[in-house]
Amino acid sequence: MSRDPKVTVVLPVYREPVDVIKRAADSIDGQTYGNISTLVVLDDPDNLEARGFLEEYCGDRERFSLKVNERNLGLASSLNSAIADIKDDCDLICRMDSDDIAHKERVEREVAYLSEHHLDLVGCFMNVVNEEGTFLYRADGLPTSASEVAKALGYNNCVMHPTWLGKAEVLARGYRPIPLSEDYDFLLRLELDGCEIGNCPETLLDYTISSGSISRSSLFRQYLYQRELTRTYREGKVADVEEVQHKVDDAWTPARERRFSSAYYQMNAFLGSAGMTNRLAHVLSLIGTLFRSPWYVGKAYRLARVRLIARRKLRALT
């Protein structure tokens, strides 16, 4: 391809504050990549403040356009609808959330990495921040090559949804209604269909953990969905949506949810403690909650396997 590929950024908006939306949109407007346009999708037509702001913002910028859904569709269905509306001359589609910040070279670096490594879809490393913008940690323990990503996906999602950039025809395949795991299901289906997926080994996005993130009360159910998706993936099959739903419903109980959530809290308290003394204070509680929740032990094992795959790749390169 002689010209730079045309990139369309899809920026879904729901009920985020206007200043947060503007910050995200400005980070796309300031990208170093030239052949780019942005489709902003408002998924709450009753959000009049955001609608008024976006009509003015997009109206003032030639490379921005606005789509207002007639009703709330949810993220996955909203993305499906938006991607279906993108013009045929678009080569690549970039994901972006309205409370995140793209580093100015994000699109340029991801396009280059995808092209250089002959990939169909690429993600990147990211900073994780709170709603005030305070840095929490860097999500960089991820595999990068297509072969390592394919292996790691058999344990856990390792290509972060807000960082995706991929070929338009690949993204057009669409999300399925797999609650809490639509993006993971998408990646697994692409792998089973022979697509090449990687991670650009650069930190190119600031990802915000907000009060609107997945409820802590849904963490166990999300894990159950992911467990079923990986089971069928390892068998070389695409998961059946109804079958997955039945298996999750059979495995979920309120008691297991409570124990899983408790283990999650204790693990994060342990990891977030500064200094060995503070960490030791959490050890006994952590061991107790892990003993009572073998489900969370399974989750921790999966995360550890992904990090081990990534580290092996890193050692091979050094």
In a domain, 65, yes or no: yes
User: How many other CB atoms are there within 10 angstroms of residue 59's CB atom?
Assistant: 11
User: How many other CB atoms are there within 10 angstroms of residue 285's CB atom?
Assistant: 15
In a domain, 245, yes or no: yes
Angle at 295 (CA atoms; ends 271, 180), nearest 5 degrees: 85
What is residue 317's predicted lDDT score, i.e. its pLDDT?
Answer: 44
Residue 236 pLDDT class (50, 70, 90 cuts):
very high
Residues 251-271 have a mean pLDDT of 83
Residue 78 pLDDT class (50, 70, 90 cuts):
very high
Query: Average pLDDT over the chain, rounded to whole?
Result: 90
SS3 assignment, position 139: strand
Residue with the bigger pLDDT between 269 and 298: it is 298
Residues 190-194 have a mean pLDDT of 97
Residue 263 pLDDT class (50, 70, 90 cuts):
confident
What is residue 261's predicted lDDT score, i.e. its pLDDT?
Answer: 86
Residue 279 pLDDT more than 70? Answer: no
270: domain range? 216-317
In a domain, 113, yes or no: no
SS3 content of the chain, % helix, strand, coil (to 5): 50, 15, 30
- For the chain, strand residue ranges (E) read 7-13, 36-42, 64-68, 92-95, 101-102, 121-129, 135-139, 165-167, 197-208
- Chosen domain end from 68, 99, 130: 99
What is residue 6's predicted lDDT score, i.e. its pLDDT?
Answer: 97
- Return d(Cα 200, Cα 193) in angstroms, integer: 22
Range of weakest confidence among 161-170, 181-190, 200-209, 291-300: 291-300
- Return d(Cα 121, Cα 163) in angstroms, integer: 10
SS3 assignment, position 118: coil
Q: What total number of domains does the chain contain?
A: 2
Residue 190 pLDDT class (50, 70, 90 cuts):
very high
In a domain, 121, yes or no: no
- Chosen domain end from 52, 75, 99: 99
pTM beyond cutoff 0.85: yes
- Chosen domain end from 81, 99, 117: 99
What is residue 270's predicted lDDT score, i.e. its pLDDT?
Answer: 63
Per-residue pLDDT of 212-228, as tens digits, reads: 555 556 889 999 999 99
In a domain, 141, yes or no: no
DSSP codes of every residue in 46-104: T-HHHHHHHHHHHHT-TTEEEEE-SS---HHHHHHHHHHHS-TT--EEEE--TT-EE-T
In a domain, 257, yes or no: yes
Contacts of 229 (CB under 8 A, 6+ apart): 178, 181, 184, 185, 188, 239, 244
What is residue 284's predicted lDDT score, i.e. its pLDDT?
Answer: 60
Distance (Å) of CA 154 to CA 91, 263, 264: 29, 23, 22
Where residue 33 sits, what CATH number does that domain have? 3.90.550.10
Residues 67-80 have a mean pLDDT of 95
Residues 135-156 have a mean pLDDT of 94
Helices (H) and strands (E) in the chain, counts: 12, 9
In a domain, 106, yes or no: no
Contacts of 70 (CB under 8 A, 6+ apart): 45
Percent of the chain with pLDDT over 90: 76
